[in-house]
Structure 1
Amino acid sequence: MVNNAINTNGNFVNGANADIAITTHGSDFYFAICALMTISAFTFVGLAFRKHRRDRVFHYITAGVVFVAAIAYFTMGSNLGFTPIEVEYRRSDPKVSGVFREIFWVRYVDWFITTPLLLMDLLLTAGMPWPTILWVILIDEIMIVTGLIGALVRSSYKWGYFTFGCIALCYILYQLVWEARRHTIVLGQDVKRVFFMCGTLTAVLWTLYPIAWGVSEGGNIIAPDSEAVFYGILDFLAKPVFGGLLLWGHRNIDPARLGLKIADYDDDPSVNGREKAVPANTHSGGVVEGHNGVENGHHNGTTPAHNGVAPIAA
């Protein structure tokens, strides 16, 4: 099948023509990553159905990540979701020698949705408290938004936004490498192992994203086709590969151990530690069942023991 996305959708947007843009090779690569993301998404959802509904939280979060990424990569492969931005640095290399570079804002929409979900996967695995999780997600959103603004700025002020984004990234890496890792110590070796594996992968890969930004949107050093390969490989490793490792690591971990005890409507109350409601007429026999099932009241002239320990006689 011939890929006609470049010819069909063109490079002319908002009154400007992106003369530094992807070719059919870049479009093909974006579509290939889209296919891998889509396959991964359906795989993760399929694996979720092997778990009870209350135990699917990590499957759903991870599947959501790759579903959103698949849509973003389909958009970029279709040569859509971009705007031409005048480059700060004019290059002599024919591949990047134009005036207006194609900036895919849809990539940042993808990251704005998916990177908080990736962090939720990791921080929930580490059993981090909710206020900390929400705070780290806010810092992550700042990182993504400053990256987008910087990519859309034509002047050297773009590097100011780049710096803000890098500071936010350093804080996120601190949380992953230090704070969250410490939380896993008391949760068991299996939890510690899966967090170390996935957290290390994320920390290493996320460190490479500013480099990709600097040589593409920022410095106009590499061609958009090379940009597609750079970001595409990073996203593939940071999302489907990350997701596969995370779900494999969680295969025998009960989410309740991580503070994620979720009730379902058809749960057996005895399994969840809840007692069935006792109808009022069951107390007519003069026997009252206490919390520990050992309280018989004072009808028989005896004083019940607490937790099975007899009281000391006066």
Structure 2
Amino acid sequence: MEFQKRANDALNVNGNTVNGRTSDINITTHGSDWYWAVCALMIVATMVFIGLGFRKPRTHRIFHYITASITMVAAIAYFSMASNLGFTPIQVQYRRSDPKVSGVFREIFYVRYIDWVITTPLLLLDLLLTAGMPWPSILFVILVDEVMIVTGLAGALVVSSYKWGYFAFGCAALAYIVYQLGWESRKHANHLGTDIGRVFLMCGSLTTFLWILYPIAWGICEGGNLIAPDSEAAFYGVLDVLAKPVFGALLLFGHRNIDPSRLGLRIRDYDEDPAVTGGSKGHEKGHTGNGVDGAHNGHSNGHNAATNDVPATTV
């Protein structure tokens, strides 16, 4: 039997026209092929992370599920971009002489930002839960992260130079996240133990380094129209592979011997006997309450007796 390679026909099937507007700065088949490759890698990573989770007790799978969710969402986003879907033509601010970027309308993949608005909070949740950060801090950092992604999308869709104002807001949000990962969260992780501190340092440093490169990619792609969409695909694709599957593998490897309860994550399974847990807590509460009440009553009785004796002695 002879096997023939099936041609990638996504660009011809889906085209470059959206709502009557056609982009003339687009990915080629090479860019689409690369997006398909990253999509396949994300799918494999998702299955591996879920499979590793099934080897753990259900109460120890939280990081496996979070990490698998990251690559699962990314796989759908890369499927969309490989299919030449999930984009809109946007007029570039800077017209270039390079034939690869010399057009007027550049395709902007908004589906990439939909991916990030879901996956980057999950990435931060992986890290901040590892560090044992308090919930108010976690929620605020995630909110700042959402601001960073939304301002990046807004800037990419704006035609005028005001796009760089959104870019500045996004960079300010990123600076706060970098501070949290490099200082506050690292201190929390080290306080929980050397093994936890080591995992956080490894994964947090990787994330910090990669996330600093994303604004650079934005500046030369959506912002400045300096490099072709195929190069954009390679730049963002490599960053996403390192920030998601590679990050996930390092994180789960580091968590292999860490009980989630050490991080303040007490997760009860459905097959645990609540009567045993509740009875134990009730016994402890009753024992403590009786002791406290007895001591309090003894103290009150003694105080009353002493009070009664004082006037008699005085008189």
Tell whether the structures are fold-level matches, with TM greater than 0.5. yes
1:212 is aligned to 217
Is 1:137 equivalent to 2:142 in the alignment? yes
Paired with 1:94 and 1:62, the residues of 2 have a C-alpha distance of 40
> Runs of at least 4 residues of structure 1 off by over 4 A?
292-295
SS at 2:32's partner residue? helix
Pick the aligned partner of 1:253 from 255, 258, 277: 258
1:101 is aligned to 106
Please tell me the residue identity of whatever aligns with 2:227.
I
Paired with 1:138 and 1:258, the residues of 2 have a C-alpha distance of 22
Paired with 2:278 and 2:26, the residues of 1 have a C-alpha distance of 61
CA-to-aligned-CA distance 1:234-281 (integer Å, 9 cap, x gap): 0000000000000000000000000001111212569x8553699xxx
1:8 is aligned to 13
1:190 is aligned to 195
Q: Give 1:291 deviation, angstroms.
A: 3.7
1:311 is aligned to none
Is 1:84 equivalent to 2:95 in the alignment? no
Please tell me the residue identity of whatever aligns with 2:76.
I
Structure 2's unaligned 5+ residue stretches are: 1-5, 295-315
2:305 is aligned to none
CA contact (8 A) 1:269 1:276 kept: no
Is 1:170 equivalent to 2:175 in the alignment? yes
Structure 1's unaligned 5+ residue stretches are: 279-289, 298-303, 305-314
CA RMSD of aligned residues (A): 2.1
Q: Give 1:185 deviation, angstroms.
A: 1.8
CA-to-aligned-CA distance 1:111-162 (integer Å, 9 cap, x gap): 0000000000000000000000000000000000000000000010000000
- Structure 1 length-normalised TM: 0.87
Paired with 1:277 and 1:5, the residues of 2 have a C-alpha distance of 61
Q: Give 1:164 deviation, angstroms.
A: 0.2
Q: How does 1:1-314 map to 2 (within 5 A)?
A: 1-267=6-272, 274-275=278-279, 291=284
Paired with 2:220 and 2:174, the residues of 1 have a C-alpha distance of 18
> Structure 2 vs 1, CA of residues 112 and 294 (structure 1 numbering), >3 Å: closer, same or farther?
closer
Paired with 2:20 and 2:155, the residues of 1 have a C-alpha distance of 21
Paired with 1:35 and 1:43, the residues of 2 have a C-alpha distance of 12
CA-to-aligned-CA distance 1:166-207 (integer Å, 9 cap, x gap): 000000000000000000122111100000000000000000
Paired with 1:222 and 1:178, the residues of 2 have a C-alpha distance of 35
SS at 1:84's partner residue? strand
- Structure 2 length-normalised TM: 0.87
Q: Give 1:56 deviation, angstroms.
A: 0.5
Paired with 2:44 and 2:189, the residues of 1 have a C-alpha distance of 31
Percent identical among aligned pairs is 69
